[in-house]
Amino acid sequence: MSENVLFNQGQAISSKYDFSKTYLSAELFKKKNGSGPEPSANQPELITLSDGNEIPLIGFGTYTLTGGSGVNTMMQALSTGYRALDSAVNYENEGAVGEVIRRSSLKREDLFITSKLPGRHQKFDEAITTIQESLFRMHLDYFDLYLIHWPNPLENHYVEAWQALIEAQKMGLIRSIGVSNFLPEHLERLEKETGVLPVVNQIELHPYWSQPEQRKFDKEHGIFTQAWSPLGRANAVLHDEIIKKIAETHHKSIAQVILRWELQLGVGVIPKSSSTKRQFENLDLFNFELSDEEISSISALDKPDGRTNSQNPAVYQEF
Ligand SMILES: NC(=O)c1ccc[n+]([C@@H]2O[C@H](COP(=O)([O-])OP(=O)(O)OC[C@H]3O[C@@H](n4cnc5c(N)ncnc54)[C@H](OP(=O)(O)O)[C@@H]3O)[C@@H](O)[C@H]2O)c1
């Protein structure tokens, strides 16, 4: 970890929250633990979206990270090497993300901040106000990426919400506009009714739910697929025997093999971890490669009922 990412190390802050933690860089982690990640683990790779903006291939999931402990965990994630933080109005942590941005010594342009529009504010005017409120909570002038969190097709307001994101982009409030949990039918409707396609579709994706058709559709339409719950929220997939064997061959963990499989499928990942060790582990993905055969055998683990929480975007609604 280069020295330009040190965050108030050990500094005692007069606050009711404990922000006095030391955030470990790769060097400090190694020193403290005897061994640790290679420096290559700390290079966030970027790819270019179809609107010309860049996005880190690996971001940091922030669901459940709230309040003072959430701030500490996210500060550690930045120190570990993450540059992209994936938030949402419904995670109730935009304030914590804003605090992390303020406290970090990183420049705004070196960070990639995402938030998401909740289902209850999909009407045009409400969506614009909600985006502004998200920015005010984070004390930001713009988001790198803003997504419609769920299509909520039974409500039938997602096209209006999309028009609001297009407008907010024109207003300079958002650099890249995208969606989450959108099926081909929803994306086709956006294109037909607005002429504008999202540049990102963030969807549930892990070895037990690998979404080949959705990935193919996204790719054909220049949409970057980003995996949410890329580790299946630490469910049975982290104990899968087939992945375990592949992991042993590469001297990597099962989680690393899963994340590497996702990257080799051309999918971005946003794993969440509260543990410093696992944060490093989830970034350390660029010093091994899975063979075509290994990729196929992991992809073959896909299950018809593999979703973690049975949230089918055709019918599931979230507000
Ligand atoms: N758009 C959407 O609708 C949507 C829905 C869900 C999630 N998301 C986003 O996607 C992010 C990631 O998804 P997620 O948080 O649901 O699940 P996830 O990242 O797949 O899994 C997180 C779980 O895995 C554990 N873990 C992390 N790294 C590990 C490793 N190397 N080895 C073993 N266990 C590990 C974590 O425990 P520890 O913390 O103890 O390490 C935690 O319990 C979210 O945080 C959120 O930002 C978006």
Atom of ligand 1 nearest to the CA of 116: 1
- Structure pTM? 0.93
The CA radius of gyration of the chain, in Å to the nearest whole number, is 19
Q: Percent of the chain, pLDDT > 70?
A: 91
Question: Could you tell me the sign of the dihedral formed by the alpha carbons of 152, 180, 88, 258, in that order?
Answer: positive
pLDDT of residue 72: 96
pLDDT of residue 22: 74
**Which of 257, 172, 252, 188 lies closest to 220 in space, CA to CA?**
188
Residue 91 near residue 66, CB atoms below 8 Å:
yes
Residue 14 to residue 192: CA distance in whole angstroms: 54
Q: Percent of the chain, pLDDT > 90?
A: 86
Third-level CATH fold of 26-299: TIM Barrel (3.20.20)
Determine which residue's CA is closest to atom 15 belonging to ligand 1.
272
pLDDT of residue 20: 59
Residue 102 near residue 96, CB atoms below 8 Å:
no
Distance from the alpha carbon of residue 273 to the mean position of ligand 1, in angstroms = 6
pLDDT of residue 236: 96
* Domain ranges, ordered by start, for the chain: 26-299
Q: What is the dihedral of CA 103, 121, 179, 221, to 10 degrees?
A: -140
pLDDT of residue 23: 83
Q: Is 121 assigned to a binding site?
A: no
How do residues 185-205 score in pLDDT, each as one tens digit? 999 999 999 999 999 999 999
pLDDT of residue 19: 56
pLDDT of residue 9: 37
What is the largest distance, in Å, between two alpha-carbon atoms of the chain? Answer: 58
pLDDT of residue 31: 83
Atom of ligand 1 nearest to the CA of 150: 3
Strand partners, 84: 112
CB atoms within 10 A of CB 77: 27
Distance from the alpha carbon of residue 90 to the mean position of ligand 1, in angstroms = 16
Residue in 273, 276, 310 to alter for ligand 1 test, most ligand atoms within 8 A of Cβ: 273
Q: How confident is the model at residue 4 (pLDDT cuts 50, 70, 90)?
A: very low
Distance from the alpha carbon of residue 195 to the mean position of ligand 1, in angstroms = 34
Upper half-sphere CA count for residue 29 (Cβ side, 13 Å): 25
Give mean pLDDT, residues 256-272: 97
Give mean pLDDT, residues 202-222: 98
Question: Could you tell me the sign of the dihedral formed by the alpha carbons of 98, 104, 106, 111, in that order?
Answer: negative
Residue 75 has pLDDT above 50, yes or no: yes
Q: Residues lining ligand 1, CB < 6 A?
A: 61-63, 86, 149, 180-181, 202, 228-234, 238, 253, 255, 270-275, 278, 281-282
Distance from the alpha carbon of residue 271 to the mean position of ligand 1, in angstroms = 5
How do residues 103-150 score in pLDDT, each as one tens digit? 999 999 999 999 999 999 999 999 999 999 999 999 999 999 999 999
**Which of 207, 215, 200, 305 lies closest to 247 in space, CA to CA?**
207
How do residues 161-171 score in pLDDT, each as one tens digit? 999 999 999 99
Atom of ligand 1 nearest to the CA of 254: 32
Q: What is the DSSP-derived secondary structure letter of residue 24? A: P
**Which of 265, 258, 268 lies closest to 55 in space, CA to CA?**
268
How do residues 246-263 score in pLDDT, each as one tens digit? 999 999 999 999 999 999
End-to-end CA distance of the chain: 40
Residue in 180, 211, 228, 269 to alter for ligand 1 test, most ligand atoms within 8 A of Cβ: 228
Helix (H, G, I), strand (E, B) or coil at 38: coil
One-character DSSP codes across 257-278: HHHHHHHHTT-EE----S-HHH
pLDDT of residue 29: 81
Residue 270 has pLDDT above 70, yes or no: yes
Residue 108 near residue 85, CB atoms below 8 Å:
no
Residue 252 to residue 233: CA distance in whole angstroms: 19
Residue 5 has pLDDT above 90, yes or no: no
Mean pLDDT across the chain: 92
Cβ within 8 Å of residue 214, ≥6 positions away: 183, 184, 201, 203, 225
Bigger pLDDT: 59 vs 27: 59
Task: At 311, list the tokens.
Answer: 């949230």
